């Protein structure tokens, strides 16, 4: 905490509020029918992406998963372009071709998100391999969940990264559930971070509701990566407040958790945790925190208006972006 | 300068020339430093450990790592066998094929997968895959099927310089075949330009990969019967030079397609479909498909050889197109 600048602390609170308001607004406009399809709210988990990304530079890379509105926003992505993508418009990050699960901004190292769990883990490992081959000091970080931690892609990537000492940070967001299955029922070890031992790399268990703890743990992992000391597995313990996905109503019917459990986690809401720290240390007043929230709410509202006013792609754009070196259509 | 090389040597030359030309090219795969399959001989000595990576047996992991490296400016070549592609299908399909489109053109993936097809040699069902039709069905790959040392070298060089995911299906039955190859820039072979290794006027045979030499043998035999066969080797299936095929059929009016892959939804099916739709009025006989039988590859040679196309089967199909 002593080593964390005020600038970083304030930026973390801003980005957490930005993500919170973004997700709340997405839920509203989605239920109003303004766009369709699956969307996976990140509410409750904001400290993980924000704390971790605060330790990165624009020249570092991240890759995400299906629950990934928060990751690009945490890395400084454009809220307008993210929202426009969810609306399927031309000003969206992917010109409307990717949607909620495939936000990407290659200009600031956001290598995109994958709707197949763990599928972006090998990809991020490969970006780190490029750093090693070229002798550059950028790092690569991949966000994946407790469910994804059971995929072979994860284990293969961790072995590769440890074997070749690649600068990759495996950031497991343990939000307790893979859809409705508790990680206690699907993971063979007590903590996913324990699995790091199998690959002879550091495994760190972090309170994912605490942005400062996330930032500090990630900063260490990044320093190791830049110094050529290889990968780190960070497990962030966090909680998904909402159900698995918007647009998948049937999942709500499954009883897999109690209201008590939800309430217990909400008592340690990541935004409250950070605001309490900042106000008690005299870094910000509660009024200043509230002003940040209001400003971010307004920014999200502006993004919604921007998205609504952005045109849909033209039919002739259907075949655009298939190839870097185009070939005739079959 | 042209010289003679066998198919596997031609591949080796392509890799060496391109790695020497461009520092961003590197190669990874299983047992490549010791060049178990021949195509990676001498690479470790010339280019060092950083650019010649022996991988663990983790195809999904390292096929994906190649994608990630390509996204940030590298040009990876991955060596594999077709049969091991199945364990990496998520990375191939969910990432390599879809990424560029899904991200609205932001992603550029200059990655090359070199997949050898070993078949016809008693390797049984798990090691005899000719899987290019399955990848033709998935938009996003450029698919190359070289049948000669010249094309094995030239198409691979073009693939390494290309900015999209390419899969080179190297035909193991041709691994020891020899032919003339060029050097450097002269060796490049463009995508989407079919080769016509034999001109003729009566029947067009479009032959793919290992079926090309069979079609040429068949054409020689049929010449003795007074039948003039034109053999077309598409060389790349995506993109496919359909103009060359349609022009040939316009001349001959008859089409046989010879394809070592399984016949259902095969490359042969696609060629037949294009010609039946776009060249229908040129046809004087039904299109004949000579492709692998729709059965798994049996181990025992007496059964295995029944599965694939052969010059005899091609000749029979050509004769069938000439029946009244």
Per the document, the length of chain A is 330
Express each pLDDT in A26-56 by its tens digit: 999 999 999 988 899 999 999 999 999 999 9
The DSSP annotation for B54-113 comes to E--S-HHHHHHHHHHHHHTT-EEEEEEEGGGGGGGHIIIIIIIITHHHHTTT------EE
Say yes or no: B213 and B302 in one domain: yes
Task: Please answer yes or no on whether A327 and B91 come within 8 Å at the CB atom.
Answer: no
Nearest to A320 among B63, B99, B105 (CB): B105
CATH of the domain at B303: 3.40.50.920
Distance of CA B271 to the CA centre of its chain: 15
Tell me if the bond preceding B239 is cis, omega within 30° of 0.
yes
Express each pLDDT in A63-76 by its tens digit: 999 999 999 999 99
Say yes or no: B181 and B200 in one domain: no
A301/chain B closest Cα distance in angstroms: 24
Token representation of residue B102? 């899904």
Domain count, chain B: 2
Residue from B88, B99, B104 to probe the interface with A (highest A Cβ count within 10 Å): B104
Q: Nearest to residue B173, comparing CAs of B229, B117, B130?
A: B117
- Chain B residues whose CB is inside 8 A of the A105 CB are 106
Query: How, if at all, do strands B3-6 and B178-181 pair?
Result: antiparallel
What pLDDT, on a 0 to 100 scale, did the predictor assign at position A252?
A: 60
What pLDDT, on a 0 to 100 scale, did the predictor assign at position B99?
A: 98
Say yes or no: B44 and B154 in one domain: yes
Question: CB neighbours of A90 closer than 8 A, spacing ≥ 6?
Answer: A84, A96, A310, A311, A312, A313, A317
Nearest to B239 among A92, A132, A328 (CB): A328
Say yes or no: B23 and B108 in one domain: yes
Question: Where does residue A137 rank: exposed (0-12), middle (13-18), buried (19+ CB within 10 A)?
Answer: middle
| Last residue within a domain, chosen from B129, B155, B187 | B187
A19/chain B closest Cα distance in angstroms: 21
A20/chain B closest Cα distance in angstroms: 24
Question: CB neighbours of B66 closer than 8 A, spacing ≥ 6?
Answer: A126, B28, B76, B78, B111, B113
Say yes or no: B203 and B148 in one domain: no
Using alpha carbons only, what angle is made at residue B138 by residues B136 and B141, rounded to the nearest 5 degrees?
70
Q: How confident is the model at residue A3 (pLDDT cuts 50, 70, 90)?
A: confident
B71/chain A closest Cα distance in angstroms: 7
Task: Please answer yes or no on whether A120 and B95 come within 8 Å at the CB atom.
Answer: yes
Q: Nearest to residue B104, comparing CAs of A102, A84, A76?
A: A102
Per the document, the length of chain B is 324
Task: Please answer yes or no on whether A328 and B90 come within 8 Å at the CB atom.
Answer: no
Say yes or no: B10 and B124 in one domain: yes
A16/chain B closest Cα distance in angstroms: 25
Distance of CA B83 to the CA centre of its chain: 15
What pLDDT, on a 0 to 100 scale, did the predictor assign at position A243?
A: 86
Nearest to B66 among A94, A126, A157 (CB): A126
Nearest to B62 among A115, A160, A328 (CB): A160
For A104, nearest residue in chain B (alpha carbons): B103
Say yes or no: B117 and B28 in one domain: yes
What pLDDT, on a 0 to 100 scale, did the predictor assign at position B288?
A: 98
Residue from B102, B111, B135, B238 to probe the interface with A (highest A Cβ count within 10 Å): B102
Say yes or no: B52 and B178 in one domain: yes
What pLDDT, on a 0 to 100 scale, did the predictor assign at position A249?
A: 65
**DSSP letter assigned to residue B265:** T
C-alpha pair distances (Å), B121 with each of B11, B293, B303, B315: 21, 17, 12, 23
SS3 label, residue B288: strand
Token representation of residue A36? 């369709």
What pLDDT, on a 0 to 100 scale, did the predictor assign at position B44?
A: 97
Q: How confident is the model at residue A313 (pLDDT cuts 50, 70, 90)?
A: very high
Nearest to B50 among A120, A128, A133 (CB): A133
Token representation of residue B250? 């316009």
**Stated pTM of the model:** 0.97
Say yes or no: B37 and B156 in one domain: yes
Average pLDDT of A245-250? 75
Token pair 């195809």 is found at B59
CB B111 within 8 A of CB A130: no
C-alpha pair distances (Å), A81 with each of A17, A67, A69, A87: 18, 17, 11, 10
C-alpha pair distances (Å), B252 with each of A72, A85, B203, B291: 58, 51, 5, 21
Express each pLDDT in A142-189 by its tens digit: 999 999 999 999 999 999 999 999 999 999 999 999 988 999 999 999
| Last residue within a domain, chosen from B187, B209, B226 | B187
Between positions 193 and 222 of A, the ones with CB within 8 A of B are none
Catalytic residue, from B126, B127, B262, B296: name it.
B127
Say yes or no: B36 and B159 in one domain: yes
Token representation of residue B266? 């095969």
CB B312 within 8 A of CB B222: no
d(CA B110, CA B78) in angstroms, rounded, equals 11
Nearest to B60 among A105, A130, A152 (CB): A152
Token representation of residue B86? 């199945």
What pLDDT, on a 0 to 100 scale, did the predictor assign at position A162?
A: 98
Average pLDDT of A302-315? 98
Task: Please answer yes or no on whether B239 and A327 come within 8 Å at the CB atom.
Answer: yes
Rounded to the nearest 5°, which phi and psi values hold at B289? -110, 125
For B143, nearest residue in chain A (alpha carbons): A327
- Chain A residues whose CB is inside 8 A of the B110 CB are 324
Express each pLDDT in A70-124 by its tens digit: 999 999 999 999 999 999 999 999 999 999 999 999 999 999 999 999 999 999 9
d(CA B69, CA A133) in angstroms, rounded, equals 10
Task: Please answer yes or no on whether A153 and B60 come within 8 Å at the CB atom.
Answer: yes
Those residues of chain B that have pLDDT short of 70 are none
Q: CB neighbours (10 Å) of residue A104?
A: 25
pLDDT at A210 over 60: yes
pLDDT at A253 over 60: no
B127 is catalytic: yes
- Chain A residues whose CB is inside 8 A of the B74 CB are 129-130, 133-134
A121: contact with B, CB 8 A cutoff:
yes
* Percent over 90 (pLDDT), chain A: 92
A324/chain B closest Cα distance in angstroms: 6
- Chain A residues whose CB is inside 8 A of the B239 CB are 327-328, 330
CB B164 within 8 A of CB B142: yes
| Mean pLDDT estimate for chain A | 95
Q: Which residues of B223-260 are buried (b: 16+ CB within 10 A; e: fewer)?
A: eeeebebbbbbbbbbbbbbbebbbbbbeebbbbbbbbb
For B75, nearest residue in chain A (alpha carbons): A130
A225/chain B closest Cα distance in angstroms: 16
Task: Please answer yes or no on whether B94 and A122 come within 8 Å at the CB atom.
Answer: no
A112: contact with B, CB 8 A cutoff:
yes
CB B291 within 8 A of CB B308: no
Question: Does residue B182 come out as left (phi exceeding 0), alpha (psi in the -120 to 50 range) or beta?
Answer: beta
Nearest to B26 among A133, A160, A324 (CB): A133
ipTM score here?
Answer: 0.96
CATH of the domain at B88: 3.40.50.970
| Last residue within a domain, chosen from B161, B187, B213 | B187
SS3 label, residue B234: coil
- Chain A residues whose CB is inside 8 A of the B56 CB are 156, 159-160, 163
Say yes or no: B170 and B267 in one domain: no
d(CA B111, CA B66) in angstroms, rounded, equals 7
Domain that holds residue B176: 3-187
Task: Please answer yes or no on whether B142 and A327 come within 8 Å at the CB atom.
Answer: yes
Task: Please answer yes or no on whether B68 and A128 come within 8 Å at the CB atom.
Answer: yes
Say yes or no: B200 and B315 in one domain: yes
Please give the domain boundaries of chain A with CATH numbers for all domains.
Answer: 6-306 (3.40.50.970)
pLDDT at A199 over 90: yes
């Amino acid at each position: 905490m002593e080593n964390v600048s005020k600038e970083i602390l304030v930026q973390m609170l801003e980005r957490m509020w930005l993500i919170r308001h973004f997700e709340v607004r997405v839920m509203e406009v989605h239920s109003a029918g303004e766009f369709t399809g699956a969307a996976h709210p990140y509410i409750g988990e904001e400290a993980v992406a924000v704390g971790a990304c605060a330790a990165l530079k624009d020249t570092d890379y991240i890759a995400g998963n299906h629950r990934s509105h928060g990751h690009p926003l945490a890395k400084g992505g454009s809220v307008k372009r993210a929202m426009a993508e969810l609306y399927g418009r031309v000003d969206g990050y992917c010109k409307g071709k990717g949607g909620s699960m495939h936000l990407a901004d290659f200009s600031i190292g956001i290598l995109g998100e994958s709707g197949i769990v763990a599928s972006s883990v090998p990809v991020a490992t490969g970006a780190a391999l490029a750093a090693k081959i070229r002798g550059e000091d950028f790092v690569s970080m991949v966000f994946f969940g407790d469910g994804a931690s059971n995929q072979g892609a994860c284990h293969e990537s961790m072995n590769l990264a440890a074997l070749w000492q690649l600068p990759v940070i495996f950031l497991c967001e343990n939000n307790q559930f893979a859809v409705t299955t508790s990680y206690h029922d699907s993971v063979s070890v007590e903590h996913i971070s324990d699995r790091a031992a199998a690959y002879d790399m550091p495994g760190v268990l972090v309170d994912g509701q605490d942005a400062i703890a996330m930032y500090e743990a990630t900063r260490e992992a990044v320093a190791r990566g830049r110094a050529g000391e290889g990968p780190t597995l960070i497990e962030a313990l966090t909680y998904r407040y909402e159900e698995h996905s918007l647009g998948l109503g049937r999942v709500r019917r499954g009883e897999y958790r109690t209201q008590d459990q939800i309430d217990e986690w909400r008592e340690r809401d990541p935004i409250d945790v950070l605001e309490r720290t900042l106000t008690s240390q005299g870094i910000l007043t509660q009024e200043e925190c509230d002003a940040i929230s209001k400003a971010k709410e307004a920014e999200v509202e502006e993004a919604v208006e921007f998205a609504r006013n952005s045109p849909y792609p033209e039919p002739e754009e259907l075949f655009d972006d298939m190839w870097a070196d185009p070939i005739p259509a079959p | 300068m042209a010289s003679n090389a066998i198919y596997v040597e031609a591949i080796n030359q392509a890799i060496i020339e391109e790695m020497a030309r461009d520092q961003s090219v590197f190669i990874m795969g299983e047992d490549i430093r010791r060049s178990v399959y021949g195509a990676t001989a001498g690479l470790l000595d010339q280019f060092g450990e950083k650019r010649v990576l022996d991988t663990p047996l983790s195809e999904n992991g390292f096929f994906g790592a190649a994608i990630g490296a390509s996204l940030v400016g590298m040009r990876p070549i991955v060596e594999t066998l077709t049969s091991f592609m199945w364990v990496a299908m998520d990375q191939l399909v969910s990432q390599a094929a879809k990424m560029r489109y899904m991200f609205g053109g932001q992603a550029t993936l200059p990655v090359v997968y070199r997949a050898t097809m070993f078949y016809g040699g008693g390797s049984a069902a798990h090691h005899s895959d000719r899987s290019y039709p399955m990848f033709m069905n998935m938009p996003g790959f450029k698919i190359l099927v070289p049948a000669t040392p010249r094309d094995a070298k030239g198409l691979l060089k073009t693939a390494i310089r290309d900015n999209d995911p390419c899969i080179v299906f190297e035909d193991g039955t041709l691994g020891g075949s020899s032919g003339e190859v060029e050097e450097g820039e002269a060796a490049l072979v463009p995508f989407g330009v079919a080769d016509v290794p034999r001109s003729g006027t009566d029947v067009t045979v479009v032959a793919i990969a290992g079926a090309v030499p069979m079609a040429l043998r068949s054409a020689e035999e049929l010449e003795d019967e007074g039948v003039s066969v034109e053999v077309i080797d598409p060389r790349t299936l995506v993109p496919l030079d359909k103009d060359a095929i349609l022009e040939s059929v316009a001349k001959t009016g008859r089409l046989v397609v010879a394809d070592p892959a399984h016949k259902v939804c095969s490359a042969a099916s696609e060629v037949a479909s294009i010609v039946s739709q776009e060249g229908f009025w040129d046809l004087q006989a039904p299109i004949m498909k000579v492709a692998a039988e729709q059965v798994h590859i049996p181990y025992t040679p007496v059964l295995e050889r029944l599965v694939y196309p052969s010059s005899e089967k091609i000749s029979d199909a050509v004769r069938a197109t000439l029946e009244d």
